[in-house]
Structure 1
Amino acid sequence: MSINVVTLVGRVGGDPDIKYFESGTVKCQLTLAVNRRTRNSDQPDWFNLELWGKTAEVAGNYVRKGSLIGVKGYLKFDTWSDRQTGVNRSKPVIHVEQLELLGSKRDAEGGMGDMSPENF
């Protein structure tokens, strides 16, 4: 049996990066800061998110830097060959299947611009 499920709640680190393909497919990339509580301080962990289709469109229309969101998806690794060195590289990415907009309407109107850790 295998399980690969990721559930995160945090604040978006920047405005969505939306790409529209000729096929009609939509892709959205985001970063998400999720607080990790330690003994000495609150430290955010940063995650790269990838959304496709209708979920990507919703993110593009309603998510902005600082938005509080919840996501559910799975962990995958993007791999590529470095153009300059030829070295194989990879990075973890959360492929989002479900997106929840958790902020209030007031937050969406611009009240969430401060990304300092104490505000997560």
Structure 2
Amino acid sequence: MAFLWLGLSFLSSRLPELIKAGGNSLIDVKLFILLFSVFMAGSLLYSLKKYLRFNLFGGIISLIVASLIITSFPNFGYQYAAPFILFVVFVIANKIPSPKWIKKNDLS
């Protein structure tokens, strides 16, 4: 999953060049690759959840790392920063109390 996420993130950083060369026919592929790389980052975090601690300190560090990555790569940085952004989301989700029906059901 990590290699797939990195590969898709790298490919999405090269897509503007491919779209210029191929016209607008790759627009759906671009959207798919952008969103699938973020999905794979979430899958990676979910599969590693027993090894990770979703605490406030990790959330702050992840937020700093994500902001540094996004500012360093303004066009495609959020794909590379997706695991760190999702780590912050998981920290928030673990700290805020949820109703029982949300805990039992998949709301994705």
Task: Tell me the TM-score normalized by structure 2.
Answer: 0.24
Structure with a larger share of its residues in helix: 2
Structure with a larger share of its residues in strand: 1
Task: Tell me the TM-score normalized by structure 1.
Answer: 0.23
